[in-house]
Amino acid sequence: MITVTNLKKRFGENIVLNGVDLHVNRGDVLAIIGPSGSGKSTLLRCLNLLEMPDEGIIEIGDTKVDVTKMSRKETHLLRQETAMVFQNYNLFKNKTALQNVTESLIVAKKMDKQEAERIGKELLIKVGLEDKFHQYPATLSGGQQQRVGIARALAVNPHAILFDEPTSALDPEWVSEVLQVIKNIAQQKTTMIIVTHEMKFAEEVANRVIFMADGNIVEENEPKEIFHNPKNPRTKQFLKTLERDE
Amino acid sequence: MEFKLDFGYLVEIIPELLSFIPLTLFLAVISMIFAIIGGLILALIIRSNIPVLKQLATIYISFFRAIPTLVQLFLIYYGLPQIFPAFTAMTAITAAIVGLSLKQAAFLAEIFRAALNSVDKGQVEACLSVGMTRAQAFRRIVLPQATRNAIPATSNVFIGLIKETSLAFTLGVVELFAQGKILAASSLKFFETYLALALLYWFLIIIFTLIQQTLEKRMEKPYIS
Ligand SMILES: Nc1ncnc2c1ncn2[C@@H]1O[C@H](COP(=O)(O)OP(=O)(O)OP(=O)(O)O)[C@@H](O)[C@H]1O
Ligand SMILES: [Mg+2]
pLDDT (0 to 100) of residue A230: 94
Q: CA A114, CA A174: separation in Å to the nearest integer?
A: 31
- 3 state DSSP class of B126: helix
The pLDDT value recorded for residue B219 is 87
Q: Do A152 and B128 touch (CB under 8 A)?
A: no
Is B128 in contact with A50 (CB distance < 8 Å)? yes
For residue range B199-225, list pLDDT tens digits in order: 999 999 999 999 999 999 988 888 876
Contact A174, A11 (CB under 8 A): no
Q: What is the pTM of this model?
A: 0.89
pLDDT at B1 over 80: no
DSSP output for A54-121: SEEEEEETTEEEEGGG--HHHHHHHHHHEEEE-TT----TTS-HHHHHHHHHHHTS---HHHHHHHHH
- Residues of chain A with pLDDT > 70, as a percent, come to 100
Element (H, E) at A208: strand A208-213
Give the per-residue pLDDT at A100. 98
Residue A33 parent element (H or E): strand A29-33
Per-residue CA distances from A128 to A42, A150, A161 (Å): 30, 11, 19
pLDDT greater than 90 at residue A63: yes
- Burial of A45 per CB tally in 10 Å (0-12, 13-18, 19+): buried
User: What is the reported pLDDT for B86?
Assistant: 87
A130/chain B closest Cα distance in angstroms? 19
Provide the terminal-to-terminal Cα distance of chain B, rounded to the nearest Å: 63
- The predicted-structure confidence for B114-157, as pLDDT tens digits, reads as follows 999 999 999 999 999 999 999 999 999 999 999 999 999 999 99
Cα–Cα distance measured from residue B152 to residue A224, given in angstroms and rounded to the nearest whole number:
57
- Measured between CA atoms, the residue of chain B closest to residue A94 is B222
Spatial distance between the Cα atoms of A198 and A175, rounded to a whole number of angstroms = 10
Give the Cα separation of A196 and A29 in Å (integer). 12
Please work out, in degrees rounded to the nearest 5, the angle formed at the alpha carbon of residue A130 by the alpha carbons of A128 and A135: 110
Estimate the share of chain B in helix, then strand, then coil, as percent rounded to the nearest 5.
85, 0, 15
Is ligand 1 within 6 A of the CB of residue A196? no
Is B218 an 8 Å CB contact of chain A? Answer: no
Phi, psi of A188 (to 5 degrees): -90, 20
* Number of other CB atoms surrounding residue B179 within 10 Å: 20
What H or E segment, with its residue span, contains residue A205? helix A199-205
pLDDT at position B191 over 90: yes
Which secondary structure element, helix H or strand E, spans residue A15, and what is its range? strand A14-24
Cα nearest neighbour of A139 on chain B: B225
Q: Round the average pLDDT of chain A to a whole number and report it.
A: 94
Chain A and chain B share a number of CB contacts under 8 A equal to 86
Q: What is the largest CA-CA distance in chain A?
A: 55
pLDDT over 90, % of chain B: 87
pLDDT in tens, A146-188: 999 999 999 999 999 999 999 999 998 899 999 999 999 999 8
Closest CA to B102 of B170, B35, B26: B35
**Mean pLDDT of chain B, nearest integer:** 93
Pocket test residue of A7, A10, A11 for ligand 1, highest count of atoms within 8 A of CB = A11
Strand partners of residue A18:
A8
Q: What is the DSSP letter of B75?
A: I
B residues 95..124 contacting A (CB < 8 A): 120, 122-123
Q: What is the rounded CA–CA span in Å between residue A116 and residue A100?
A: 11
Beta bridge partners of A155: none
The partner residue sitting opposite B130, judged by closest CB among A83, A138, A139, is A83
Helix-helix angle B7-18:B176-187, to 10 degrees? 140
How wide is the angle at C-alpha B5 spanned by C-alphas B3 and B7, nearest 5°?
165
Q: Is B15 on the interface with A (CB under 8 A)?
A: no
pLDDT tops 90 at residue A242? no
Distance A44 CA to ligand 2 centre (A): 9
Q: For residue B110, give Cα distances in angstroms to A117, B43, B63, B98, B155.
A: 38, 7, 13, 19, 14
Q: What length does chain B have?
A: 225
Q: What pLDDT digit, counting tens, does each position of A2-42 carry? A: 999 999 999 999 999 999 999 999 999 999 999 999 999 99
Report chain A's terminal Cα–Cα distance, integer Å.
Answer: 36
ipTM for the predicted complex comes to 0.94
The span from the CA of A91 to the CA of A204, in Å, is 27
What pLDDT, on the 0 to 100 scale, is given for residue B6?
Answer: 87
Residue contact A103–B125, C-beta within 8 A: no
pLDDT at position B225, please? 67
- Please check whether residue A136 touches B, CB under 8 A: yes
In tens, the pLDDT along B84-99 reads 988 888 999 999 999 9
Ligand 2 centroid–CA A164 distance in Å is 7
Phi, psi (5° rounding) for residue A35?
Answer: -65, 160
Each residue's pLDDT tens digit, A78-88: 999 999 999 99
Asked if A182 and A150 touch (Cβ cutoff 8 Å), the reply is: yes
- Nearest atom in ligand 1 to the alpha carbon of residue A40 is 21
Q: How far apart are CA B185 and CA B174, in angstroms?
A: 14
